[in-house]
Amino acid sequence: MPEQRRIGYRWHLRTLMAQRNLWKTTELMPLLRSRGINLSESQVYRLVTGTPERIPARTFAALCDILDCSPNDLFEPFVEMRTAGTANAPSRPEDIGVRPGEPIARRIRLIPDEHSSDE
């Protein structure tokens, strides 16, 4: 069975903050602000407690500067190999309703009902 590569990552911001005696997310806010990064309390909280899907490069660079770390310390990518069967990956386009040579989306035109009660 063919394998499928899944890319994941671990976000170590909370751990690095603790190693530098930064225990509260509110302690990070002035440090970010002094580097030109203005985030709300809730944004900083989500950045610390969650795993961000997107992060601006300037914010990422500011965090590395604040924590005196490299990007690899903060962000750890990994590859997870799965068989296509466990990953539920279709093996052919026809399995998801796509036929070669045919458009995937079709334009439709709505025709009002002649017996409509909108009149």
In this structure, the number of other CB atoms found within 10 A of the CB of residue 47 comes to 20
Per-residue pLDDT, averaged over 23-49, amounts to: 95
Place 25 in a pLDDT band, splitting at 50, 70 and 90. Answer: very high
The structure's pTM equals: 0.64
Pick the CATH number of 3-81 from 1.10.260, 1.10.150, 1.10.1740, 1.10.3470: 1.10.260
Inter-helix orientation angle 41-49/25-33, to 10°: 120
Question: Residue 45 corresponds to which tokens in the numbers above?
Answer: 């909280």
Question: How does pLDDT run across 49-84, given as a tens digit for each residue?
Answer: 999 999 999 999 999 999 999 999 999 998 877 665
